[in-house]
A = this chain, B = another copy of it.
Amino acid sequence: MSKKIEVGKKILSANEEYAQQNSKFLTENKKLCLNMISSPGSGKTSILTRTITELKGRIAMGVIEGDICTELDAQRIRETNAPAIQIETQGSCHLSASQITGALDKLPINDLDLIFIENVGNLVCPTAFELGENAKIVVLSVPEGDDKPAKYPGIFAKSKAMLINKIDLLTMVDFDIDKVVAQAKKLNPGIEIFQVSAKTGQGFQHWSNWLIESVKALQLQ
């Protein structure tokens, strides 16, 4: 049992070291980095492609894509002409900080204001692995149901912002937005909440303005 704890500590601290290195690099270069976490299929890639397109000419974005396998998501990002680095985790359920170190090295960092990390679709494990990001963003889509902050509290407690995506489906499914907002605020009173549809574009102005303000605030530091 003592062995297990000892090794666990070593693994965590190796990740932590890379996370600190990434954080230092991002701070020195004044780049905002957001780590997007959600269940599979909540619409992270669609949110990113619309965000990149809507903010073209105002914020230059790059994306680090994490998937168990395939380059599908990076291809979708590249169609917007934004640079995207795909990390295939080969079965691992989360991105680790050392993978981000490698990906940051491949991005044209001087040309970018904001780097999004799209983590592996998993509402649990990625929460525990710091990547050196400025903030975590959790995405919850309407068809997933309004009990998710209560059932998966970790990521809602740790995120700077929550996007409630697929609000175009609100009339089709049972989903009480007030309940979700109340659950999330109970776990995390300061969380910013955006109600959006990556499909129709609804709610994107509010989200885009928040990103612009966040990039400005960092660059003025």
* Interface of A toward B, CB cutoff 8 Å: 3-4, 7, 11, 39-42, 67-70, 72, 91, 93, 120-125, 141, 143-145, 147-148, 150-154, 166, 168-169, 172-173, 199
Contact = CB atoms under 8 A, between A and B. Distances in A.
Number of copies of chain A assembled together = 2
Contacts of A3: 3, 7
A123 B40 contact: yes
Contact of A122 (B41, B123, B166, B173): B123
Given A41-B148, A67-B151, A72-B150, 12 more contacts: A3-B7, A4-B7, A4-B11, A39-B41, A40-B152, A41-B145, A69-B151, A93-B124, A141-B143, A143-B169, A169-B172, A172-B172
Nearest to A73: B151
B121 A123 contact: yes
A141 to B, nearest CB: 7
